[in-house]
Amino acid sequence: MGSPADRKADVRNKMFLPLEMQNTLSSSLIRQDSKMTPLLQNSIIELDFESPALKARVLTSPPIVFSIFMILIILLSGLVKDKKINLGIDVFVFSVFSLLAVFMIFFNFYSLCFSVC
């Protein structure tokens, strides 16, 4: 298995340990009565199921939704000539995206602490 087997697995890598061991042991050969045989010959699959069918949701995908949202903001900012309304649109857009950025940073640190702590 080598040196990768010696390092400590984090939470994400622990999910893949059985597959990694099966692949490594299946490719390993041992000498038995002067012939080479695979170390793991008959692997048994305990649980096998079909992956669920995913529906293609093109119009509700995040890139499409945010693109439409941004186009609407740009059109609204261009069509409205009042400076107070444009200032309100700017404050709203920057507030929403700043709040999303704070959430992303918080959940990034939370997930890192949760996996390590």
**H/E element holding 30?**
strand 29-32
Q: What is the pTM of this model?
A: 0.44
Of 73, 98, 67, 99, the C-alpha closest to 85 is 73
- Model confidence over 20-37: pLDDT tens digits? 777 777 788 888 888 888
Two structure tokens written together for 92: 């709203």
Q: What is the mean pLDDT of residues 37-58?
A: 77
**pLDDT at residue 116 is higher than 70:** no
Mean pLDDT (the chain) is 80
Beta partners for residue 113, in sequence order: none
